[in-house]
Structure 1
Amino acid sequence: MMTTADKDILEQLERLRNPDSSVKRDAIEFLTGIRDERVIYPLIKALQDEDQGVQQAAIDALIAYKDEVTVYNVLPLLFNDRVAVRNMAQEILEKIGETGIDLLGEHIKVKDEDVKKMISDILGKLNRPEVIPLLLEMLKDPNLNVRSSAAEGLGRIGDSTVMESLINLLNDDEWVAFFAVVALGRIGNKRSIRPLTGLIKSGNIELQIASIEAIGQIGGDKAIESLLDSLDSLRPESLNAAIGSILRLTHGNIEKLIERFGNDRAFDYLADAVNDIDIDESEVKRDFILAFSLITNPKSSVYILKLISDTDTDTDNAAIVQVTMDALTKLKDEELLIKSLQEENSARVLVSIRVLGMLKSGMAIQALKALFIDSDRDIQIEILHALSRIGGKDSTEFLVDMLSYGEGHVRSAAARGLGELTDTSSVESMLNRLEEEEYSDVVGEIVNALVKIEERHKDPSIIKGLTSNLSNSKSYVREAVLKAIGILGHLNSAELIKHMVSDENWRVRRACIETLSQLSAPGLLDVLITAGSDEKDEVRMLVAQLTGRYSKEKSIDILINLLSDRNDRIIYKAIEGLARLKAIKAIPYLIKLSQKGDLLIQKMSIWALGELSAREAEDTLKLAFNHKDEEIRDAAIDAYRKIRAVSNVII
């Protein structure tokens, strides 16, 4: 009796005869994965359908079988008169051939040379050690395409036991030798270097370049020495390939090249290679830059700048830009860098600006100032940074002038640069700028610069000027100045700051508290008491954070008051502070908080009761053992255990 599964299969096989391609595709998709030999032949027949969608569906279905029976049935298609069918058969066998290696092996000596070539291709792409004997046998085939394919496949497998057989092919037809060279490079055994080096001296350019690249793949000191030994015998086309391989192997450290051939000849080698080799990859570019930096030649910097020309400095190319800067800094060609400032290439200009700054090039100041005028904002900022590195009177004066430039980012960079210079001659101008500056970030940079100068020179005019700005009409100036006074530790300003705790701006009020705390100012707790009722959550949060550091009765009272704050986060912080201060006085309040309200506050309160060893909270904690929330239950158990442990009672 026919089963339902049999009926389904027969129904789908019947649908494969339907002239509608979509029906046939649906039938094949249904049959895909069904392990039934009745399906294989219809699928093979479908490979010859005129519709490519049907063909592809049949390919996928046959690949899904991946068994010896399928290999057996697909193999004959390699002999088909239609090229497209042969190609489809090869594609399938490359995916499933490992299940029928013996079957494939029976065809390695067929008369049809195209089929032998396809069999060799398939065996090589299986990438299985079991096919090595078959491919070695095919190396002896009279057809050079078959031998080439077999060599390629052995290289893909990468087993060094076949190395001698491949070396023997180096004296074969040039086409076969080429694939043998590539295979030896893939295998990567250092014993191949010597025969490959001998091949470099052949007259065939393709073989020379292939051998050079293979030796480069193998790598190691022997490979480098081999390439260096070969340079004198190479034609220009292959010479540049050898230089490229040497650079890759040495990562740009060409000291051996310089030692053997001298600076001038080494430079010529690199210069010729740069003009001939495609240097799009960052690693290759880096290797050339490092190599040029090791050569004492006045044109080394020229080529380094040329290499950086097509680099997009706006993308993630920071590493290559840094390598270039380090190389140019080492070569110290200030005149070339100054000349490069006039170029239109943005990468060269950017790198030149930065390197001139790193070299502290006083002779570049005028050129940098001239470039500033017509440059975009980013380059202007780079120029200001370079001038801050160079230093000196001219640089300082220019940066001071830029404090009033029309673009805020530039003013900010100028202030930052003056902070790096720490020149007291800029103090008055920066203090005056605080009266006019409209952007808070620029004010911040100005104040930071003044702090740096004060820390270095102890200039009394700075503290005086900062203190006078505590009454500045702009709140962001008052805030920045307060922070600066805290950093500088100017305790004499404390009384004046205390009078600012009721400032109209909450950021200023918060900065007052932070600064008084930094100064460890007397009377701070009284300020915190007042600030504990501030209208802004941010101020009260700071009060909660700071109060927990002071182990005084007033501190505890402040934190207890904050337990009724409208902001849960402030309550959490107050609970944490009370636990840290071991505030026994807070236990009744914590018990109350642990019984209702926000679950996180309940949990935090329970934790604090445990930290305070609150025996009077035991009954409350026992009730919490049955709380609906698991975290509350766990917290209550932990707290209870802590309390009982203090009493040496084990539960």
Structure 2
Amino acid sequence: MSKRYVGFIAILAAALLLYPPIVFSVIDKSYENDLKYGSPSVRIKTVESIGRSGNPEYVEMLLSYSKDAEIDVRVAIARSLLRLNAKEYTDRIIDLLDDASPEVCAELRKTLVGIGRTEVFKKKLTGHPNPDVRKQIAIIFGETKDPAAVDVLLKALKDTDFVRFAAVKSLGQVGDKSVSAPLTNALKDPLGEIRVQAAKALTNLKIYSSVPDILNLLVDLDSTVRGNTERVLDGFVSDDTVLYFVQAVMKDRRTPVRIYATRAIGLLGSKSVAVVLFEALKDKDPSVRQEAIKSLEKIIDGTMVFNLCLSLNEKDINVRNYAVKTLERLKDPRAVPFLIDRLKKEKDQELRTLIQDTIIGISDISIVDFLAKALYDKTLVVRITAVRAIEKLKPPEILTELSDLLSREKDIELKYAIISTVKAFNNKSALPGLHVSLRKEKNLEIKLEIINVLKELKDYSSIPVALESLKYGDETIRMESEYLLEQLADMQSIDFFLEAAGDQSIVVRGFAMKVLKKFPVAKVLPVVIAGLGDSDPFIRKDAVYILGVIADKSTIPELTRMLKDRDEDIRIETVSALANMGFPRDVLPYMEICLVDKSATVRLEAVKFIHENGDRAFVEGFSNALKKESEVTVKEEIIKGLQKMKDPAAIGALKRSLKDMEPSVRKSAASALGDIGDPVIIPDLKKVFYNDYSSEVRAETMVALAKLDVKDMIPEFMGKVSDVTDITISSVAKRSLDILLDESNTSYLIGCLQSEHRSIRNYSYSVLKRMPRTGELPVDGLFKLLKKARGEIRQQAMELIDSMIDNKLLPDFLDLLKTSDDPQLKQWAIKHLGEFKDESVVSQMSDAVRDRDENMRKEAVRALGKIGGRRAIEILQHVAEKDESPAVRYLAREMLKTKK
């Protein structure tokens, strides 16, 4: 590149900077094609591009497409017209306001507001032929809030419906309060929507004086107007308008107006006008009253308690109900007198209950005096409520008065309430009144409730009145009174019961004696002794029991007289008492008298006592008694006594008893005769054993014969061991044999090992096993048995011999080894011969190590190891080298190791 060319470029660049190029406006023909043929999105983008170009020459093009079918395209055109500053086209843009789309109209209004030709708008509002356009222009004035447009908007109030509506709305938006009169007149417009809009406009302008006129719309014939009016008026509620609503509540004859005005006062939430709401509670219309209640709920507080109390007398039950519930919530005790006054008059049961609960709930200590007076009110429900309120507060100063009132009150329900309240106090100062009431009360349930309270208080002073209640005819009362007395009975209160033991009432005396049974101390003796002569058998019986427990020796004569009492239970108790006193020597003579008592139980107890404490001196008496006795249990007890005394003088009586019809008596007699041990009775016992049908009697006879050492019965008893038909006989036979058998019977027992009955064999084996030995056991028989026996018998014989091993048996084992062919016996014999460690048997062992039986050879090796000696070692060495069995060789080597 030449230097001249570079210089030219530099000059040209400088010229362009100093003198910018002139731009000539050129319309892009492609825009029109896009607007004509493009899709909606293309058309929108084209319009937006035109708007961004800022070229006013495109205005005409945009206006020509302002009726595009797509709303979004028309909206884009409206926006672009504003960017292109199409002021000269204002009239044509205004004409576009008849567009059916609200979105398009809204954008067009923004465009026109941006253009800002107010005078043109005014002319068009009154002169444009299209009412839709006039409507949109009226809206523009509202959106711009132009005060200069007020006059033309007022003129528009005479236009068509849509224009009037828009004009009214815009007048409210402009903010000029001078239009209040025309807007107020608009409240009477034939079109309901305009009437509502006029009300909204007045609200926006805060024309407070229009409230009465707007309230008229609450009774409009159009339900939509009425509904919208309430929402409009909600925006009017303030301290500035409250008087209008107050006046409406107080004076307006129209119910809907009063209803809303009442609600409006509630919305205001001002306590200063609460009195108006209380007046509204008296309104003739229930809906107004209900609205007043709702409004009061928003502002109610403790300063309005008096007004609420006055409302308690309103005719409307809902009002009264509200007043009571609100007073309950406020918890102001000053309302109690008013509530009680209402309680006297109220006829609705549910509300009466609510009033009662409220009185109880809000009462506090400040109104105790008032509650005390209410206890004497003529109205029952008032008295009941007062009592329940006192129950909650528990003021101690009123308790005595309350308990005294119980005896004077006649109503059952109130009595229950008083008792419940007294119980809640849990204070003993109420006791005098409760005692008086318990004595006077006729109602069963009330008496029971009083007794229950006395149980809670647990005071000794309640004992006398509780004792009196025992005389009451009802069983439940007596039971509960007894329970109360049992709670109170102790050593500190015993004097009450000592006195009661002398009461004329059997019931009282009887219970007193029961209490004294629990505290048997010397202090009660005089009263108890006196009780022995009481007409009531239960009292006499308890008295006897107490004397037995106290166990004062000086009272024995008094007690023994009771052995002649006509009542069987008393005689039984007397025997028991004498037995438990601990003076058997002093009591025994009297017990012997009882052996002839009519009562079997008395006789039985007497026999038991003599049995435990008597001696042989009573054998004759027992024997005579046994002859005459008919009761089985008594017979058995007499026999036990004779058995304990072990006096042969009793044999005659016992012998007779062996023939008694009752098996248990025969059994007892057999047992006793066995313990006495006189052989003279053996024949008789044998007869019983052989002839009695009772297995239990025969069994006991077996034991008796065993105790008498009748050895000739051993075979007989041994035979019974195998008796599978009678387990009792079989078992007792063993027990009897255990008594009879000794070392002298060893041979017999060895013989029994060969019995065909396994049970006999096993028993004989067990006896031989455990039998102590002072002499030598006849083993000849056992070794003979070994050679013949097999199985269990052989095993038992072997075990018996094992238990008596000594050197004297060496010949027997050698003989067994020589004569027996049985490997088991031979191995057993070799084992024992080894244990003798006698070298004289080595030759027999040398024969044994050559036996074919490997086990025999092993046993011989072990025996040689135990015997030792030179000859035994030589044999072991030979076996260790030459025996064909590795096991035998190994065992021989081990034995040799022990000999080194």
Q: With structure 2 as the length reference, what TM-score do the two structures score?
A: 0.36
**Structure ranking higher on relative contact order (CA contacts 8 Å, 6+ apart):** 1
Looking at CA atoms only, which structure, 1 or 2, has the larger radius of gyration? Answer: 2
Q: With structure 1 as the length reference, what TM-score do the two structures score?
A: 0.47
